[in-house]
Amino acid sequence: MSYVLNDPADFADEAAAGFVAAHRGLVRRVPGGVARATATPSGQVAVVIGGGSGHYPAFAGLVGPGLAHAAVMGNVFASPSAQQVYSAAKAVATDAGVLLSYGNYAGDVLNFDQAEARLNAEGIPCRTVRVTDDIYSALPDEREKRRGIAGDLAVFRAAAWAAEQGFDLDAVHAVAARANERTRSFGVAFTGCTLPGAKEPLFTVPVGQMGVGMGIHGEPGIDVRPLPTAKELGALFVDALLDERPADISAAQGARVGVILNGLGAVKSEELFVVYATVAQLLEDGGVIAVEPEVGEYATSFEMAGVSLTLFWLDEELERAWSAPAYTPAYRKGTRDLTGIAAGDEVTDELDADIPVASAGSVAAAETVCAVIDAIRDVIDREAEELGRLDAVAGDGDHGIGMQRGARAAAEAARKAGSAGAGAGTVLSLAGDAWAHRAGGTSGALWGAGLRAAGEQIGDQDRPDAVIIARAMDAARAIVQGNGKAQVGDKTLVDALVPFVDSLGDAVSSGLPLADAWAAAAGEAEKAADATASLVPRMGRARPHVEKSIGTPDPGAVSFALAMTAASAVLAR
Amino acid sequence: MSYVLNDPADFADEAAAGFVAAHRGLVRRVPGGVARATATPSGQVAVVIGGGSGHYPAFAGLVGPGLAHAAVMGNVFASPSAQQVYSAAKAVATDAGVLLSYGNYAGDVLNFDQAEARLNAEGIPCRTVRVTDDIYSALPDEREKRRGIAGDLAVFRAAAWAAEQGFDLDAVHAVAARANERTRSFGVAFTGCTLPGAKEPLFTVPVGQMGVGMGIHGEPGIDVRPLPTAKELGALFVDALLDERPADISAAQGARVGVILNGLGAVKSEELFVVYATVAQLLEDGGVIAVEPEVGEYATSFEMAGVSLTLFWLDEELERAWSAPAYTPAYRKGTRDLTGIAAGDEVTDELDADIPVASAGSVAAAETVCAVIDAIRDVIDREAEELGRLDAVAGDGDHGIGMQRGARAAAEAARKAGSAGAGAGTVLSLAGDAWAHRAGGTSGALWGAGLRAAGEQIGDQDRPDAVIIARAMDAARAIVQGNGKAQVGDKTLVDALVPFVDSLGDAVSSGLPLADAWAAAAGEAEKAADATASLVPRMGRARPHVEKSIGTPDPGAVSFALAMTAASAVLAR
C-alpha cells in the first residue's frame, strides 16, 4: 500500500512535480512528461520512452545523457495519452526524427501508435521499437506478443547510444531492435501491490507462494510454486534464461551478457545481492561473462515483492552501448575518470594467529576446550530462533543470529588452533577473537573479550585445574563488566554471568571437583537468567522497547546460561 | 519480511559477496568490510564508515571517490566487531591516519572505540566523529546522545571532501564534526520490519498510525499519531527542522541547506516525490534554498515503511563538500561534463486550441453540452472508488482514477471553450482531447476519441437536434470500435456503447423527443452493463485475471452507463 499521499487522483501529477523539483538541472517539464534539461543536439535522433507511472525509475528516472531524451508519464499504471506522447516527442525532436520505445502493452501500443502516425504526418520522422523481453508472457514463436519488463533498460541504452553516435533514424531503430531481440527477462512475484489510495490490493499471490513468470501488473505467469531459497531462485532464473538464448548464439560458453537483477519494490537491496551472489556464480559456471551487472530497482510496481533477471546478449556494438556513460536522475555510470590511481589490494578476511608453544598438559586440555565450544555452538544453533524471538521483544532481534555466527566461528577457530598444536589458553583466546570478529555487535564484542581474557588467564603451560578455571572465569567477568558497563540488575548477560562466576568460585574453594562445581554454577546461571524476566532492561540501541520486555527473560542472560549448561555436560563426561 | 534468502545466519555474508560481485572495479573485499578498488593516495586521510547490515546503501554502498575509503560491515542490525573496524581501517590507512564516522549507537561506540584505541596504539593516528542527527532521540541540550540516521550521508560527504582536499586528520575531523553539528533529521515510521528469516516483525506500528520520531531499529519516538497526508507530513518535517536550526543561524531566511528525503524501505520513490513536492514548496516559502536535494533511499531498514527528512545547514566550505563529485555503487553525482550544451526550454503543459466561429444556436447548445459533461464528472467522482474496485478484479485497478481525471479535465476544458464562445461541436471535441490527454490509458484514449468524433459530427453551425445527436453518438461508436478493436461480447465499454447507440437511433427514428430517446437508450446501456457480469473478458495488459472476473460487471461498461444516465437527467431538465 501507499503510506503518504494526498488525493489519489493527483498522485501521478504530484509525484511528477516532486521529481522535477528534486532534479532541477537534469530534467525539465515538457507537455506529457519530462525531458533532458539540455536541448537535443541538432541532427541527433531523439529517444522518447514512456509508460504508466508507478514503475520508477521507469520511465522519468531514465532521462538524461546516455539514456532517453524524454519520458512520457502516464497516470498510475495507465498508458500515457497519444497527445502526451506526441507533445513530449515534439518537445525534443530535431529534424533527425524520433525513436519511440516502450514496453509492449495494449494501451501503450494504442496511444504511442497514434502519436507516431501524427508525428510522421507532420513531417517528423518517427519509428518505434517495442520492448518484448518477458519470456513467459508468450511462446518463443510469438515473441512479438511478449510484454516488456526490466529489459527496457537494455533497449533504451542501446537506442540512446546509437542516437548519440549520430546514427540516422533507421540505424538507431536497427540497433534498438537488435538489442530487443537479444534481451530476455524472467520475473517472479511473491506479493501483489496496491495502487495509491486503493483499499484492496490490485492482485495478490498466496502467502508463501511465488508466481513464476507473473507480470509487473499482476499478469498471470506459468506456474505458482512454494517460495524458493535465494539459491534456488538464482538457479531457476539462470537455467531458464540460458536455455532461451538468442538463436544466433550457438552455445552460451564465452558469451558476454549485460545483467539486470531487478527488484519490483519490496525486495530490498541486500536480498537482491544475496540472489546475485548465486546468479554471478552460475553464470561463471556456465562460461558466460557478466558485463557491468546492475542490481537494484529499474522497473518497479509500488510495493510489489518480486524479482526479475534480465540477460542482454551483447555483441561488440551492443557492449559499447551497454558500457557507455550515462547521467540521469536514477542511472549514472562510467563518468568518473579513475585513470592514474593505483588499484588497491584484494585482501582476504582471515585472522592471522601465531600459535605459541604449549605444554603437553595444556594441549590435552585444549581438546576439552574444543569440545566445550562445540557443545556451546550446538546448543546455540538449536536455540537461535528462540533467542531471536526473545531479543525482538525489547531489542533488535539479532541476538540469535549473532550468537550463532559467533559460536560457529569460535568452534571452527578453536579446532583449527587445536590442530596446529595450540594450548588451552590460546585455543580459548583465538576462539574469542573469532567470536567477536564474526558475531559483531555488543554481545559479540563481550563474548569475544571474555573468552580471550579467560584464555590469557589459563595460558598454555599448566594443565588447567579447577582453581585456574574459576580464576579465568572471573577474569572474563571483569572484562565483560568493564567493557559493557552493565551491573547486576540491568537485565543483561551480566545478570547470569556474575552468579555463575560467584558460585563457581565458592564451589571450587569448598573443594568440589570442577565438573560438579561447574554444574552447580550453571544451575545458578539458569535461575538468574529466568529471573531477568522480572527486571526492566537498560536502555540502549539494542533496547528500543524497554516497556514491553517485562515478563520476558533477557536473551543475553539466557544464551549464557544455555552455553554454561552445555559446557557442563561436556565436563561431566 | 525477507522473501529470498538461504540460511539467515549467512544473510549478511552472502549479501556482501553479491554486492562485491555486482560492483567489481569499484570496490574490493578487505577484512571486515569493503574498500574502494583504488588504494588511498599517499598522505590522504582515510574515511572509514560502518555499522550493521540491513541499511543499504548505508554503509557499503557509500564507498568510493567523494565518499568513504572503506565501510565496515557488521551482521544484520549489529555493530561490526572491533576487529573488523581495525582491519578495514588498516587496509586503507596511510600515514595521514584514519577518520572513523558512524551513527551513534551503543554497540558501534563500543567496537569502534576499541578499534580507535588499537590503531592509535599501533601508531596509526585515528579520530572519530559520531553522527547524531536524529532530533527526537534526545533533547537539544544532550545532542551528543542523539542517534545517527540518514544524516550520515551529509557527515560522510563532508569528511570525504576534506580528506580529498589533502587536509590533515585534525582538519578532516573539524570539518566532519562541523557537518554533524549542522545536520538535523526527523523520521517517522508507518510499519516495522522483519529481520531475514525471522517469523515475527522486530517491531510494529499500529495500523493507520505513525510513530513520530521513531528510530530505524524501532527505537521509540515522541508520539504516535494517525497517518497524515503527504502535505501534512511535509509540513510536520519542515516546521520541526526549521525550528531546530543550528544556533549560529539566526533566521532561516536566505539559508542554504542540503536536503535528504530518505525512504526507509517500503515507501517507494513516487511517494517520496509526492512528499518532496510539499517539502520543496515549504522550504521555498520559508526563504530557505534547497541545494542539490537527494530524494530516495540512503539509510534503510529492510521493508520498514518510514520516511525521514534531513536538513544540512551549509556554509561555504560545507556546500563545496555537499556538491563535490562522487562515484560509489549507490551514490554518484556531478561527474558529467555538460558544458557547451544548450539548455532546453521549459514548456508548459497546456493544450492549445483555436476556437472556430460558431452559430448562436450552437453556442446555446454548448451550454447544455457543458452541463452534460459536468454531470458525467460528478457521477464519476462519486463512483470512482467503486469503479476502481471493479477494475481491480480483472484489471489494473486504475479505471476509477483514470475516468475521474478524464472527466474532470473534460469538464474544465468544456467550460473554458464555452466561455471563449465555442459552439457545441468544438466544446465536445476539446473536452474529448482533454479527457484523452489527462486520463491516458486505453479507456482515456477511447473516451477522448469518441467525444471528438461526436463533436466533429455535430459541428458549430447547426443547433443540434435529436437526429444529429444520434448520428454523432454513432460516429463515437465507430471510432471507439475501430481504435479499440473490441466487439460486443468482449466485456468492454463496447458492450454498453453499442446497445445505447442502437437504442438511441431507433427511438429517434420513431419520433421520440431527445430527452425520452436518450433516457431509453441509457436504460439499455445500464442493462447491458449489468449483463457483462456473465461474460469472459478479452485478454490484454489491463486484464491479468480473466478467470476471476466472471460475476463482476465490466468497469468500462458500467462507467459508460453511469455517464449516459447522468446525461439523461440533464437533458430531461
- Residue B353 covered by a domain: no
- Give residue A119's pLDDT: 96
- pLDDT exceeds cutoff 60 at B522: yes
For residue A391, report the phi and psi dihedrals to the nearest 5 degrees: -70, -30
A295 and A376 belong to one structural domain: no
Task: Kindly give the pairing relationship between strand B326-327 and strand B332-333.
Answer: antiparallel
Residue at grid coordinates 437526429: B467
| Interface mutation vs chain B, best among A336, A387, A545, most B CBs within 10 Å | A336
- Give residue A543's pLDDT: 64
Task: Kindly give the pairing relationship between strand B70-76 and strand B46-53.
Answer: parallel
- Give residue B295's pLDDT: 97
Q: Which CATH number covers residue A271? A: 3.40.50.10440
- Residues A7-16: tens digit of each pLDDT: 988 999 999 9
- CA–CA separation, B332 and B23 (whole Å): 13
Domain span at residue A196 reads: 8-333
A403 and A511 belong to one structural domain: yes
For residue A308, the surrounding DSSP H or E stretch is strand A306-313
Q: Which of A318, A333, A348 represents a domain boundary (last residue)? A: A333
- Residues A249-275, mean pLDDT to the nearest whole number: 91
- Residues A249-260, mean pLDDT to the nearest whole number: 86
Helices (H), B122-183: 152-164, 169-181
- pLDDT exceeds cutoff 70 at B440: yes
- Residue B90 covered by a domain: yes
Q: Do A18 and B280 touch (CB under 8 A)?
A: yes
Q: ∠ at Cα B317 (B312, B320), nearest 5°?
A: 80
For residue B367, the surrounding DSSP H or E stretch is helix B360-394
Q: Measuring CA to CA, which residue among B319, B316, B317, B238 is closest to residue B275?
A: B238
- CA–CA separation, A475 and A155 (whole Å): 65
For residue B349, report the phi and psi dihedrals to the nearest 5 degrees: -100, 50
CB A473 within 8 A of CB A504: yes
- Residue A2 covered by a domain: no
B76, B267, B346: residue with CB nearest A401: B76
Instruction: Report chain B residues whose CB lies below 8 A from the CB of A52.
Output: 398, 440-441
In the set B23, B55, B217, B545, the catalytic residue is B217
- Give residue A349's pLDDT: 47
Q: Residue A532's pLDDT band (boundaries 50, 70, 90)?
A: very high
CB B279 within 8 A of CB B247: no
Closest alpha carbon within chain A to B392: A202
Q: Do B336 and A65 touch (CB under 8 A)?
A: yes
Q: Which of A314, A333, A352 represents a domain boundary (last residue)? A: A333
Closest alpha carbon within chain A to B304: A266
- pLDDT exceeds cutoff 80 at B194: yes
For residue B61, report the phi and psi dihedrals to the nearest 5 degrees: -70, -10
Q: Measuring CA to CA, which residue among A33, A161, A177, A169 is closest to residue A101?
A: A177
In the set A173, A217, A437, A545, the catalytic residue is A217
Residue at grid coordinates 514496453: A103
- DSSP three-state, residue A375: helix
End-to-end CA distance of chain A: 58
| Interface mutation vs chain B, best among A42, A274, A403, most B CBs within 10 Å | A274
- Residues B12-61: tens digit of each pLDDT: 999 999 999 999 989 999 999 999 998 999 999 999 999 999 999 999 99
- Give residue B439's pLDDT: 81
Q: Measuring CA to CA, which residue among A317, A258, A250 is closest to residue A283?
A: A258
- Give residue B122's pLDDT: 95
Q: Do A388 and B195 touch (CB under 8 A)?
A: yes
- pLDDT exceeds cutoff 90 at A439: no
B4, B79, B219: residue with CB nearest A442: B79
Instruction: Report chain B residues whose CB lies below 8 A from the CB of A36.
Output: 344
Cβ atoms within 10 Å, residue A207: 8
Composition of chain A by helix, strand, coil, percent to 5: 50, 15, 35
* ipTM, two decimals: 0.80
A80, A198, A344: residue with CB nearest B397: A198
B132 and B171 belong to one structural domain: yes
Residue at grid coordinates 510536520: B236
- Residue A278 covered by a domain: yes
End-to-end CA distance of chain B: 58
- Give residue B349's pLDDT: 47
B355: Cβ contacts below 8 Å, ≥ 6 apart: B417, B420, B421, B422, B426
C-beta contacts of A430-436 below 8 A and 24+ residues apart = A430/A351, A430/A353, A430/A455, A431/A369, A431/A373, A431/A455, A433/A351, A433/A353, A433/B83, A434/A351, A434/A406, A434/A409, A434/A410, A435/A406, A435/A407, A435/A409, A435/A410, A436/A406, A436/B81, A436/B82, A436/B83
Q: Do B19 and A273 touch (CB under 8 A)?
A: yes
The domain total for chain A is 2
Q: Do B545 and A203 touch (CB under 8 A)?
A: yes
- DSSP three-state, residue B159: helix
B281 and B427 belong to one structural domain: no
Q: Which three three-digit cell numbers place residue B374?
A: 459536468
- Residues A272-291, mean pLDDT to the nearest whole number: 95
| Interface mutation vs chain A, best among B273, B323, B382, most A CBs within 10 Å | B273
Sheet containing strand B33-36, edge to edge, reads B27-30, B33-36, B70-76, B46-53, B98-103, B126-131
A81 and A178 belong to one structural domain: yes
A537 and A439 belong to one structural domain: yes
A329 and A369 belong to one structural domain: no
Closest alpha carbon within chain A to B402: A75
Q: Is the peptide bond before B59 cis (omega within 30 degrees of 0)?
A: yes
- Give residue B341's pLDDT: 42
B3, B37, B408: residue with CB nearest A271: B3
Closest alpha carbon within chain B to A90: B347
Cβ atoms within 10 Å, residue A448: 30
C-alpha distance from A168 to closest chain B C-alpha (Å): 20
- Give residue A549's pLDDT: 76
Higher pLDDT, B190 or B396: B190
C-alpha distance from A52 to closest chain B C-alpha (Å): 8
- pLDDT exceeds cutoff 60 at B542: no
- Residue A541 covered by a domain: yes
- CA–CA separation, A302 and B297 (whole Å): 14
For residue B295, report the phi and psi dihedrals to the nearest 5 degrees: -125, 110
Per the annotation, the verdict on B217 as an active-site residue is: yes
- Give residue B537's pLDDT: 75
Higher pLDDT, B390 or A116: A116
Q: Which of A333, A352, A377 represents a domain boundary (last residue)? A: A333
Q: Residue A336's pLDDT band (boundaries 50, 70, 90)?
A: very low
B305 and B371 belong to one structural domain: no
B310 and B372 belong to one structural domain: no
- pLDDT exceeds cutoff 80 at A335: no
Q: Do B230 and A76 touch (CB under 8 A)?
A: no
C-alpha distance from A392 to closest chain B C-alpha (Å): 5
Instruction: Report chain A residues whose CB lies below 8 A from the CB of B87.
Output: 349
- CA–CA separation, B183 and B155 (whole Å): 8
- Give residue B338's pLDDT: 37
- Residue A321 covered by a domain: yes
- Residues B248-269: tens digit of each pLDDT: 887 767 899 999 999 999 999 9
- CA–CA separation, B201 and B490 (whole Å): 45
- Residues A24-47, mean pLDDT to the nearest whole number: 93
Residue at grid coordinates 568460585: A505
Q: ∠ at Cα B444 (B443, B450), nearest 5°?
A: 85
- Give residue B339's pLDDT: 37
Q: Do A544 and B327 touch (CB under 8 A)?
A: no
- CA–CA separation, B17 and B35 (whole Å): 13
Q: Do B544 and A272 touch (CB under 8 A)?
A: no
| Interface mutation vs chain B, best among A19, A142, A270, A442, most B CBs within 10 Å | A270
B61, B219, B295: residue with CB nearest A544: B219
- Give residue B463's pLDDT: 87
Q: Is the peptide bond before B112 cis (omega within 30 degrees of 0)?
A: no
Q: Do B107 and A21 touch (CB under 8 A)?
A: no
- Residues B189-194, mean pLDDT to the nearest whole number: 92
For residue B73, report the phi and psi dihedrals to the nearest 5 degrees: -115, 105
Strand partners, A28: A35
Instruction: Report chain A residues whose CB lies below 8 A from the CB of B32.
Output: 349, 437
Q: Which CATH number covers residue B473? A: 1.25.40.340
CA B230 vs CA A7, A15, A182, B274, B307: distances in Å: 9, 11, 42, 7, 11
Q: Do A541 and B108 touch (CB under 8 A)?
A: yes
- Residues A171-182: tens digit of each pLDDT: 999 999 999 999
B479 and B519 belong to one structural domain: yes
- pLDDT exceeds cutoff 50 at A341: no
**Ramachandran bin of A216, using left for φ above 0, alpha for ψ from -120 to 50, beta for the remaining angles:** alpha
- Residue A224 covered by a domain: yes
Q: ∠ at Cα A531 (A454, A503), nearest 5°?
A: 40
CB A62 within 8 A of CB A330: yes
C-alpha distance from A77 to closest chain B C-alpha (Å): 7
- Give residue B401's pLDDT: 85
- The burial of B530, by beta-carbon neighbours within 10 Å (0-12 exposed, 13-18 middle, 19 or more buried), is given as middle
A273 and A405 belong to one structural domain: no
- DSSP three-state, residue B34: strand
CB B309 within 8 A of CB B238: yes
- Residue A348 covered by a domain: no
- Residues B340-377: tens digit of each pLDDT: 344 555 554 455 567 888 999 999 999 999 999 999 99
Q: Residue A292's pLDDT band (boundaries 50, 70, 90)?
A: very high
Q: Residue B407's pLDDT band (boundaries 50, 70, 90)?
A: very high
- Give residue A343's pLDDT: 53
Share of chain B above pLDDT 70, in %: 95
- pLDDT exceeds cutoff 50 at B337: no
For residue A384, the surrounding DSSP H or E stretch is helix A360-394
Q: Which three three-digit cell numbers place residue A238?
A: 539462470
A564: Cβ contacts below 8 Å, ≥ 6 apart: A496, A500, A518, A521, A522, A525
CB B309 within 8 A of CB B148: no
Report the number of secondary-structure helices (H) and strands (E) in chain A: 16, 14
Q: Do A342 and B38 touch (CB under 8 A)?
A: yes
- pLDDT exceeds cutoff 80 at A545: no
Q: Do A11 and B200 touch (CB under 8 A)?
A: no
Burial B132-152 (b: 16+ CB within 10 A, else e): bbbbbbeeeeebeebbbbbbb
- Residues B74-103: tens digit of each pLDDT: 988 889 999 899 999 999 999 999 999 999
C-alpha distance from A92 to closest chain B C-alpha (Å): 8
B290 and B159 belong to one structural domain: yes
